[in-house]
Amino acid sequence: MGTGAITEYIDVAQLVLYAFWLFFFTLIFWLHRETKREGYPLEQYDESKPGLAGWPDMPPPKTFVLPHGQGTRTVPRPEPEPQRDLALKKGPPGYPLEPTGDPMKDGVGPGSWNIRPQKPDLTNEGEPRIRPLRVLPDWSLAEQDPDPRGQPVYGVDGEIGGTVVDCWMDLAEPQLRYLEVEVAGAAPAPAQGEFGGGSEQFGGGSGQFGGGSGEPGGSPGGFGGAPAAKRVLLPINFSRISGRDGSVRVQSITSKHFANVPTTASQDQVTLQEEDQITAYYGGGYLYALPERMEPLI
């Protein structure tokens, strides 16, 4: 027998290969099961049947301790996931769901959002992670970059939807996250329950997004309680800032849609739930903002 041989038919290299195969199969099995901690069991087309877990089965519940005294989170959840009434109509099996209301306001399709905590994302020090420059005296925009503050924001229709009044920075990864836009000719804020179907929407308050008493920002037409024109956040990834004059262009929505962007309950911070809804609104505009976008290309 040669070097490394155990018997005439088995050697060390063969055992190492079998051990690798076993390890790799175990790893794939574990990873596939861990992905089912959220979002499972899947909803089936026939609502009379139980949810579909597939193989392998659901993982055992695991409890995570959240930092900065935010409590614990157990997944999979011991109780059923909270559900929203979605303005969607089911067609035959295999067909997409069709919106039955205003998809730009109903949070469906590409504009859908998930139920998340009504708390801001935090830095390692436990401070709100995303804040406007007006409360950050030690922060500023780079001198070589265009400053969009005071510049108009154009929708995909080429009309002005608002004016940039401030920039919101990410303190954990120093970069620009949102532009704060004062809506042009802003009407009073959307009615109570407009972006989800009811009052006391996922936040514990009597107004929209858990932040006020009948209005998303705490008072009619204001931003975080201010009685001025409505202000909304524009994710920087949905905007293009001109290097020539600092003006901003948005391709996902038209100028009139800025008036219906979900607002925040606070004028100086944004919660995880609000971030999801704001980003979803702009994302949904790529399909729903213009009628021709929902038609086939050919």
pLDDT digits (tens, 9 = 90+) for 67-104: 888 888 888 877 776 777 888 888 887 788 888 888 88
Please state, in angstroms and rounded to a whole number, the distance separating the CA atoms of residues 82 and 70: 20
CATH of domain 1-81: 4.10.540.10
- Cβ–Cβ < 8 Å for 13, 4: yes
The matching CATH number, chosen from 3.40.50.300, 3.90.50.10, 3.40.50.2000, 3.20.20.150, for 103-294 is 3.90.50.10
Show Cβ contacts of residue 232 under 8 Å, excluding neighbours closer than 6 positions. Answer: 162, 180, 181, 183, 223, 258, 261, 262, 263, 278
Residue spans per domain, the chain: 1-81, 103-294
| pTM recorded for the entire structure | 0.75
Q: Report whether pLDDT(192) > 70.
A: no
Per-residue pLDDT tens for 129-184? Answer: 999 999 999 999 988 899 999 999 999 999 999 999 999 999 999 999 999 999 97
